[in-house]
A and B are shown apart, each in its own frame.
Chain A
């Protein structure tokens, strides 16, 4: 079974530029999560989707961050414009009721904003 796929793996951009991250969850997993992981810290939730509905986005900085999961499968997280403080690893995870909502993480996208 394929795991959670994320792309790109690395991204370097200048501040004020836009950037987008893509995630393909494990097949059949209806719940998808985006996390941000700063250096030396644990993951922090940005947004959670149940199918195509965003059900928990209280930690998403909505002035510059947006996300979508149009068909309830793949998801895209966008930052526009990026700031220096956005440098982090962005992790996507997925889960399903059948696995008691245990989360399976992708490899992440390491974003560096210069």
Chain B
């Protein structure tokens, strides 16, 4: 089955700095890579995703990159703000497999200091 590794487990930055979270996956059949943000006491919320036919995707201050050859993908947050503080999860899924079940990384706790 799929195995997703996520680093770092904790990331502390100053407000305005950039933050980068990296993930690797093992199953070459995976072709959909969502990122979730989980705030305290809430469920994970999808913030951005990328499909295997795209190398990069941006949405305002966040961007994701995908390297299928190396089987790794990354989340980039620019101009971080205190409200970006949360746990971020990457995931990998085979959209054509029929199960639509993502495998999640262990999460990165992002702390943005004002």
Interface residues, chain B, with chain A CB atoms under 8 Å away? 4, 6, 9, 34, 36, 41-46, 49, 89, 91, 95, 99-102, 104-107
Contact = CB atoms under 8 A, between A and B. Distances in A.
B34 A102 contact: yes
B96 to A, nearest CB: 11
B110 to A, nearest CB: 14
Contacts of A104: 46
B21 to A, nearest CB: 13
Given A42-B6, A101-B95, 9 more contacts: A42-B89, A42-B105, A42-B106, A43-B89, A43-B104, A45-B101, A105-B44, A106-B43, A107-B42
A37 B107 CA distance: 11
Contact of A42 (B41, B45, B101, B104): B104
Dominant SS among interface residues on chain B: loop
29 contacts: A31-B100, A33-B101, A40-B9, A40-B106, A42-B4, A42-B6, A42-B91, A42-B104, A42-B107, A43-B89, A44-B104, A45-B101, A48-B99, A56-B99, A95-B100, A100-B95, A101-B100, A102-B34, A102-B46, A102-B49, A103-B46, A103-B102, A104-B46, A105-B36, A105-B44, A105-B45, A106-B43, A107-B41, A108-B42
A48 B101 CA distance: 9
Contacts of B9: 40
Nearest to A4: B43
B107 A40 contact: yes
Contacts of B6: 42
A107 B46 contact: no
B104 to A, nearest CB: 3
B49 A105 contact: no
Nearest to B91: A42
Contacts of B41: 107
A33 B105 CA distance: 18
Contacts of B34: 102
A48 B100 CA distance: 10
